[in-house]
Each structure stands twice: as structure tokens, then as C-alpha cells.
Amino acid sequence: MPQAQLKQVSLQQQPFVQGMKAAVPIVLGYLPLGFAYGVLAREAGLSLFQTVMMSVLVYAGSGQFIAVSMIGAAVSAAAIIFTVFLVNLRHLLMSASFIPHLRHYSVPLLSFISYQITDETFAVAISHFKDHKANQAYHLGLNITAHTAWVVAGFLGGAFGNLITNPEQWGINFALPAMFIALLVMQVKDRQTLLVAVLAAVFSVAIKHLAAGSWNIIAATVVAATVGVGSKWITSGR
């Protein structure tokens, strides 16, 4: 291969590798969390194949944990689907916030990226795109690496989780909140983002206690984001 072509291939691969490196903190969180999911899925009665395929097709940590707990409780399929839909409805807001950065992507690529959006990959990507131009290779490197880690972790948990009799003893059940706390700290960069974060937490807890269901996350996100935009609009004098 000519020198010029080798250089071009190297330049194309570089953003993909950067995306893979950016996914390392997510991978470190997904490994114990995905393993815990695999253990719980098998305990709920899912086969190893079903456990892995849920990670491949659904790919939503909180949604999968809720689904396997409801499966274990013999809840109807319609109730499980509706509940997981509500929990994952926040991804609609995440996808919308990507529009200014990814509008030049093709529809098939956007579809693939939307399929792999998680809270963690969204947080990393949106932070990256604040200071860098959106690059599809970077996005694919980030998403594919994170998704692969999640699937592998779920497989390991489903295959070997029976060797761990008490997952809580090892702190595996704290992997999800710990990962969200780390991502939140990365996002809080000034008083305005701190205000939005605190308001979201307060609204979410308040709504959870006042109303049944899983609407508290969506409602709190909308209210806190609206307050944040209004605050920015007022302080900017517009």
C-alpha cells in the first residue's frame, strides 16, 4: 500500500481509537454492573442465550435490571415492555440534544448510533463534542467499545455468576450509582450546571414520592433543564 494511503488510513483510525480510549472508564463500570445483571438474569430464569441477547438487543442497564426483576416476579410481558419503555424514554431527550452535532450524519448511521446511546456514552460524547467537531469514527469507537464490554460482562455473569453466592458482599450492587456519580461530577463545571444537577435530584425524589410510576426521571430532567435554559437566557440578557 502506498505511503499516502497508509497515512490516510492512520488518520481515519485515530478518532476511532480515541473513542475507544474515551470508553475505558465506562468499560470499567460496565464490567461489574454487567456481571451483576448476568447473575440476576439467570436467577430470574433466563437462559444464557436470553441473557446475552437482552444485552445485545435492549442494551439498557437500568431497563434490563428492571426487566429481569419483573420477569422473576412473573409480571406480564405487556407490563414489562411498557415499564422498560418509560424508563428508557429519557434517551429521546439525549438523542434530541445530539442534533446540532450529528445533523450531517446519514440516516443509517444515526439509527445505529441511537441504538447504542446510553447514559454513559451520551455523557462522554456530549462533553467531547463541546470542544471538538463531531466525528463518526470517534462516536463509533466509543459506542462499540462500551456495548461490547456490556455484552461480554453479561455473558460472564450469566455463565459464571453461580460461583458468587452473595454479590452484594462485593459491592457489585453499587456499581450503577457509583458510575452515575462519576459521570455527574464530570458534567458539573460551573454554578449553572451545579444548579441543574441539584434541581434534577430534588425534583426526581419529590416526584417519586408524590406520584407512582417511573415518570420522575423524565419529569425532573425536563423541569431542571428548562430552569437551566431559563437561567442562562436571563443571565445572558437575551
> Does the structure show a pLDDT above 80 at 129?
yes
**How many CA within 13 A on the CB side of residue 20?**
7
> Does the structure show a pLDDT above 50 at 11?
no
Q: What is the structure's pLDDT at 183?
A: 62
Q: Using an 8 Å Cβ cutoff, are 153 and 36 in contact?
A: no
Q: What is the structure's pLDDT at 212?
A: 64
DSSP 158-202: HHHGGG-S-GGGGTGGGHHHHHHHHHHHHH--SHHHHHHHHHHHH
**Rounded to two decimals, what is the model's pTM?**
0.69
> Does the structure show a pLDDT above 50 at 68?
yes
